[in-house]
Amino acid sequence: MSSLNLRTILDTNKLTGPNFLDWYRNLRIVLKTEKLAYVLDDLLPTSLADDATDDQKLAYQKHLADSELASCIMLASMSPDLQKQHEHMDAYTIVFHLRELFDEQEGTSAVQHVLKMYGYIERLGTLDFVMDHELSIDLILHSLPDSHSHFVMNYRMNRIESTIPEMINMLKTIEPSAKNEKKVVMLVDSFKKGSKRKATR
């Protein structure tokens, strides 16, 4: 199946907002076929160093061209409203922004986000880059969306000690009431009193 034919997957499943995960999965399939998927994961440099080599200049130009092509493919598969919001962004920034929008709209997004972060941390461990547990927790807390700011604040103020899986379970419990500060405070405080185990990753 040619790459052009594969693009019809995006034509028939345009991004409207709630279908972000399905759209993103199809997008990666199409871009992977066209050897463009890397632009979704690697931030496009804003400029080249004055002493850049010829190879670095060629790599930069290729990245720029690939990012522009990928962004065109992405914009063509969006609803008109989303196109207007993202038409001046590069491919990497479009995905970053859409993820932020998705985090605000989906009630389980924080749990999904922490699961992804947990997977990245575990992956680093297999590559002999073992991250300190305290640093791992702090990194995850810092990356949570603003809608969970009260959870983060009370987690830190109460000096909770938990494993990452335990944190995920806490988030699952408070997700339905993430915007209700009082419930979040009560849940975190009760977890602190009931948790006696030493945190391990």
pLDDT tens for 62-103 read 999 999 999 999 999 999 989 988 888 889 989 888 876 765
Cβ distance 158 to 189 under 8 Å?
Answer: yes
Amino acid letter, 169? N
Amino acid letter, 89? M
**Which of the pair, 30 or 188, is modelled with greater confidence?**
30
Separation CA 133–CA 124 (nearest Å): 13
Structure-derived torsion over alpha carbons of residues 162, 165, 170, 172, reported in degrees to the nearest 10: 170
Percent of the chain with pLDDT over 90: 28
Ordered by start, the domain boundaries in the chain are 3-105, 109-194
Model pLDDT, residue 183? 43
Model pLDDT, residue 178? 55
How confident is the model over 94-148, as pLDDT tens digits?
988 887 676 555 445 677 778 778 777 877 777 778 788 899 999 999 988 777 8
Q: Band the pLDDT of 198: cuts 50, 70, 90.
A: very low
**Mean pLDDT over all residues of the chain?**
80
End-to-end CA distance of the chain: 43
Nearest CA-CA partner of 163 in 125, 194, 134: 134
Inform me whether the pLDDT recorded for 179 exceeds 90: no
Inform me whether the pLDDT recorded for 2 exceeds 50: yes
For 104, the token pair is: 């605000």
Model pLDDT, residue 138? 92
For 57, the token pair is: 């200049």
| DSSP string for 81-107 | HHHHHHTTS-HHHHHHHHHHHHHHH-T
- Which pTM does this prediction carry? 0.53
* φ/ψ of residue 196, rounded to 5: -120, -5
- Helix/strand/coil for 143: helix
